[in-house]
Amino acid sequence: MDLSPSNYHHRDSQGNKLDLPVGKVVCVGRNYAEHARELNNPVPERPLLFIKPATALVDLCQPIQLDPERGPTHFETELALLIGQPLTRARPEQACDAIAAVGLGLDLTLRELQSELKQKGHPWELAKAFDGSCPISPLVPLESIESLDDCRLQLLLDSELRQDGSARQMITPIAELLAYISRHFTLQPGDLVLTGTPAGVGQLQVGQQLELRLLEGEKLLKEWRTEVL
């Protein structure tokens, strides 16, 4: 099976390719207070941003392949927003109009390397932006969702609920977050925004089974399964 990043395409919830290019991924660190605390990190006063390149993207429905030479790989489950139109210096009330679809993503993190880089005051890219570090689910059209603020994610690891977070728990809500990002990075059609992870992150192990659920309140919208190789 060819899992190279070059084979990634944005797909809808039926598995069809979307007519959008594959762009960058803008990620938000520490956007859930409980997650910041579980890693002994301060809660930021404003969004903490970093970028993964297009080569980080892979299909979430394909197996996650660990590279033991890189060190321990941790999972961080996040709501993912697919951008459908350019967004630059937007106001919050404009920002959500640029969203084309919503899904889930895994911000795979080389935690030991990240800790080492943080201690040295270095950027995180080596620990966050490597090839295959951003598995993305098929994407649910925005018109299928009544309220972005009610969007919720769950991760079950070997049938045990490990992460459960709602957009309402975000330190910076979605509209304000997109507006803030657009003041620093122009968002282009095909870009993705990962909005932060709730508490419950941990290390992946070979043989584990992952189930990711996208909900709106208590209503299950979609679920996806994958495994760790």
Give just the sign of the alpha carbon dihedral 22, 23, 24, 28: negative
* Number of residues assigned to the chain: 229
What does the pLDDT read at residue 4? 46
What does the pLDDT read at residue 182? 97
Residue 105's DSSP bridge partners are 78, 136
Q: Are 147 and 163 in contact (CB under 8 A)?
A: no
The CATH architecture that domain 5-227 belongs to is Alpha-Beta Complex (3.90)
What is the Cα–Cα distance from 36 to 22, expressed in whole angstroms? Answer: 30
Give just the sign of the alpha carbon dihedral 32, 162, 40, 121: negative
| Cα 162 to Cα 25, 158, 197, distances in angstroms | 24, 10, 12
| AA identity, residue 226 | T
Quick one: DSSP state of residue 159? T
Residue 210's DSSP bridge partners are 157, 226
Q: Are 216 and 147 in contact (CB under 8 A)?
A: yes
Quick one: DSSP state of residue 188? -
Q: What are the φ/ψ torsions at residue 162 (nearest 5 degrees)?
A: -110, -35
Looking up tokens 């994958």 gives 226
Q: What is the pLDDT along the chain (229 residues), one digit of tens a residue?
A: 344 445 899 999 999 999 999 999 999 988 987 755 666 666 677 899 999 999 999 999 999 999 989 999 999 999 999 999 999 999 999 999 999 999 999 999 999 988 898 889 998 899 999 999 999 999 999 999 999 999 999 999 999 999 999 999 999 999 999 999 999 999 999 999 999 999 999 999 999 999 999 999 999 999 999 999 9
